[in-house]
Structure 1
Amino acid sequence: MPRTIQIRDVDDEVYDALAQRAAEVGLSVPEYLRRETKRLAARPSIGEWLERTRRRSGAQSPRDTLEALDELRGAWPT
């Protein structure tokens, strides 16, 4: 069931900027904010993102990365 969110005391400058962005994409302010809140909710929190990056294996060293890039780029011009 959809919920209602109400935000009070939004500065005029903030509202004007949101209205401008909404107009640029052909949306009303509520439609624009609905889209942006969906996008925001889909992103991981900082804690979740940090946890994911900690779990990545660090099997490759910076040297391995540089060697792979050199291999992709090919020989240096002489």
Structure 2
Amino acid sequence: MPKTVRIRGIDDEVYAGLVRRAGEKGISVPELLRREAARIAARPSIAEWLRRTGRRPSRVTTGDVVQTMDGWRGDWPDTDR
């Protein structure tokens, strides 16, 4: 069953931003907030994300990262001035 949420005390500037964003998408402010609420609810919390990603074994080592970064950066400029 759908629930109703009431948000009080929204600053005029914040509401104007919501109106602008909703208008850009061609939807109402309540519809914009419904979509954003659904998007937020679907995302894992930071703690959940860390739990999930922390358990995955990584084959990439710190040495691999440093080697790749060194390759991207190229040779160091001559510092003998």
State the TM-score, normalizing by the size of structure 1: 0.77
List runs of 5+ in structure 1 lacking aligned partners. 71-78
Give runs of aligned pairs for residues 26-37 of structure 1, distance below 5 A.
Answer: 26-37=26-37
> Hey, which bits of structure 1, 4+ residues long, moved more than 2 A?
none
Alpha-carbon distance in 2 for matches of 1:8, 1:60: 48
Number of equivalenced pairs: 67
Could you give the per-residue CA deviations for residues 23-55 of structure 1, whole angstroms, max 9, x where no partner exists?
Answer: 000000001101110011000001101111211
What is the SS of the residue equivalent to 2:30? helix
State the TM-score, normalizing by the size of structure 2: 0.74
* Residue in structure 1 matched with residue 48 of structure 2 by the alignment: 48
Report percent identity of matched pairs.
55
List runs of 5+ in structure 2 lacking aligned partners. 72-81
2:6 matches 1:6? yes
Could you give the per-residue CA deviations for residues 1-25 of structure 1, whole angstroms, max 9, x where no partner exists?
Answer: 0000000000000000011000000
* Residue in structure 2 matched with residue 76 of structure 1 by the alignment: none
Alpha-carbon distance in 1 for matches of 2:3, 2:57: 40
Alpha-carbon distance in 2 for matches of 1:58, 1:2: 42
Alpha-carbon distance in 1 for matches of 2:60, 2:32: 42
Alpha-carbon distance in 2 for matches of 1:5, 1:41: 14
